[in-house]
């Protein structure tokens, strides 16, 4: 029997959270909204998101949560059901809401105001079908969860980045409402919810602190410094956190001078031919290269303290499911359009080995080395022409994002601990680990771009979007038939 627990929000509204214990898997990225819920001062639960490649922020001012009293153990499940145990909205209507004294609410102009303490009418949420709240939230008859989702979407500005991976008409129910943010947000607008009714930080302060008539910040009436406020609120990375990031970089072996000990001689020979004579990497070389990178990341993961805290099953699941995505991410970094061949192969072979190879090729009078840039098509097979253009854009976007070792390693950790589509025993623990690295990345970007806070916020959003992009690249190259060259 599922247990209902009732809570009061800051408006004095009672609502219920039903904890689900069913297992399963889901498809949506969670971290961005999880982090943005912290930035937006939201103590409610986060929602997963699918994010587009471009980031635009809505002019709002956000605040940090004042307490850390959120109990993750009371959060409703985000996994879709494995059985037919889903209770439709009509069954939930039979439940009687807890009678809690609230302010007088008028249901409709033709009805009399409900008296204090009187039980609220049970109404379905027009977005997901769950029991709607006692009030009209932002102009729509929705449940507290959809209200929180709508507010976070508007305050963070991520509502402009939502997209649907299907046809834009996904079914939104109590069980599926976290699967597609685009369709859920579209239903919020369709039921009458208005973005202009969402309060800014200044308006919220004046409302809840009783400081009279609400008004916008006179120093920034147009919200032109919203991104700056967001970066400032999040804070900068401190010395202890920076030491942890540096340890991660060291563990990753990013700056190792020589990395060819685990590479087959035939693979090194194929790479030399590719650089010196523009030969494409043969099928065997492609497989060997990905195997080498996969083994490296497995060794790195097993050294991480966070990874060691997980159960054996969860560790194996993360290695099997997420390592291929991390491998594709590193391969994309080889093809950063701003790099020449020497910089392209340093992450793979090490600076010392690249210098030796460069010296050897020059001694053999190989021409064109100074202007050589190895293309993706030289190293890997191409899909059909139409998809290849999409693949090129994705590789360029992923490969060109990281500007230094700290950014690359932190984003790799966010991708490694991504719980999407994984059958985990301790899903919440993995989510918390992913959130930790995402927060470190945000703080590091704030510190790095402290004179340009807008750049920090924009790069953080686009960086998290690469988690989905890396998976798209993997799926595109996975269907490409490998042919001998």
pLDDT (tens digit per residue) in 30-70: 444 444 444 444 444 444 444 444 444 444 444 444 444 44
Is the pTM higher than 0.85? no
Please check the confidence at residue 166 and state whether its pLDDT lies above 70.
Answer: yes
Mean of the per-residue pLDDT values of the chain: 75
Average pLDDT over residues 74-96: 44
DSSP single-letter state for residue 137? B
| Cα–Cα distance measured from residue 428 to residue 309, given in angstroms and rounded to the nearest whole number | 13
Alpha-carbon distance values, 390 to 30, 113, 210, 331, 333 (Å): 24, 57, 53, 16, 17
User: Is the pLDDT score of 210 beyond 60?
Assistant: no
Taking only the tens place, the pLDDT of each residue in 371-399 is 888 888 888 876 555 677 888 888 999 99
**pLDDT score recorded for residue 245:** 93
| Confidence (pLDDT) at 161 | 77
Indicate the pLDDT class of residue 234, thresholds 50, 70 and 90. Answer: low
Q: Which residues of 432-460 are buried (b: 16+ CB within 10 A; e: fewer)?
A: ebbbbbbbbbbbbbbbbbeeebbbbbbbb
Closest C-alpha among 414, 390, 391 to residue 402: 414
Whether the pLDDT of residue 100 is over 50: the answer is no
Question: Taking each helix axis from N to C terminus, what angle separates 351-363 and 265-277, rounded to the nearest 10 degrees?
Answer: 50
Give the integer Cα–Cα distance in Å for 420 and 26.
Answer: 6
- Highest mean pLDDT out of 158-162, 194-198, 200-204, 206-210: 194-198
The CA distance from 54 to 160, in Å, is: 9
Higher pLDDT, 96 or 346: 346
Neighbours of 311 (CB within 10 A): 12
Taking Cα atoms as reference points, which of 149, 147, 142, 107 lies closest to residue 127? 142
Both tokens of 153, joined, read 């979407």
pLDDT at 136 over 80: yes
411, 383, 408, 359: which is closest to 481 by C-alpha? Answer: 383
Between residues 22 and 158, the one the model is more confident about = 158
User: Which pLDDT tens digit goes with each residue over 327-357?
Assistant: 999 999 999 888 889 899 999 999 999 999 9
Q: Is the pLDDT of residue 421 over 60?
A: yes
């Amino acid at each position: 029997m599922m247990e209902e627990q009732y809570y009061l929000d800051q408006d004095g509204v009672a609502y219920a959270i039903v904890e689900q214990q069913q297992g399963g898997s889901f498809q949506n990225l969670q971290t961005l909204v999880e982090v943005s819920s912290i930035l937006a001062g939201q103590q409610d639960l986060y929602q997963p998101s699918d994010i587009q490649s471009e980031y635009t922020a809505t002019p709002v001012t956000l605040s940090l949560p004042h307490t850390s009293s959120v109990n993750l153990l009371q959060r409703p499940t985000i996994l879709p059901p494995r059985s037919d145990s889903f209770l439709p909205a009509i069954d939930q209507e039979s439940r009687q809401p807890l009678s809690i004294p609230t302010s007088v609410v008028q249901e409709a102009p033709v009805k009399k105001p409900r008296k204090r303490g009187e039980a609220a009418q049970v109404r379905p949420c027009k977005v997901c079908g769950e029991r709607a709240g006692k009030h009209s939230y932002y102009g729509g008859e929705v449940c507290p969860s959809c209200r929180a989702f709508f507010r976070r979407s508007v305050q963070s500005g991520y509502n402009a980045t939502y997209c649907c991976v299907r046809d834009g008409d996904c079914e939104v129910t109590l069980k599926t409402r976290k699967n597609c943010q685009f369709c859920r947000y579209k239903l919020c607008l369709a039921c009458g919810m208005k973005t202009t009714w969402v309060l800014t930080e200044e308006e919220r302060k004046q409302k809840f602190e009783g400081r009279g008539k609400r008004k916008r910040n006179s120093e920034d009436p147009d919200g032109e410094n919203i991104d700056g406020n967001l970066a400032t609120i999040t804070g900068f990375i401190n010395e202890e956190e920076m030491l942890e990031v540096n340890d991660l970089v060291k563990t990753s072996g990013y700056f190792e001078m020589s990395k060819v000990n685990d590479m087959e001689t035939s693979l090194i020979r194929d790479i030399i031919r590719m650089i010196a004579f523009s030969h494409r990497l043969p099928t065997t070389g492609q497989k060997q290269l990905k195997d080498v990178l996969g083994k490296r990341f497995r060794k790195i993961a097993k050294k991480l303290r966070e990874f060691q805290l997980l159960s054996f099953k969860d560790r194996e699941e993360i290695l099997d499911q997420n390592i291929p995505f991390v491998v594709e991410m590193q391969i994309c970094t080889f093809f950063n359009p701003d790099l020449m061949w020497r910089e392209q192969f340093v992450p793979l072979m090490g600076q010392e080995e690249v210098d030796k190879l460069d010296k050897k090729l020059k001694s053999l009078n190989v021409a064109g080395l100074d202007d050589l840039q190895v293309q993706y098509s030289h190293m890997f097979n191409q899909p059909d022409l139409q998809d290849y253009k999409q693949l090129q854009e994705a590789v360029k976007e992923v490969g060109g994002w990281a500007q230094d070792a700290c950014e690359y390693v932190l984003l790799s950790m966010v991708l490694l601990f991504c719980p999407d589509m994984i059958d985990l025993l301790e899903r919440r623990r993995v989510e918390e680990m992913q959130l930790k690295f995402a927060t470190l990345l945000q703080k590091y970007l704030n510190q790095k771009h402290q004179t340009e806070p807008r750049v920090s916020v924009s790069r953080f959003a686009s960086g998290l979007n690469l988690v989905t992009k890396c998976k798209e690249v993997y799926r595109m190259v996975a269907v490409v038939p490998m042919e001998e060259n």
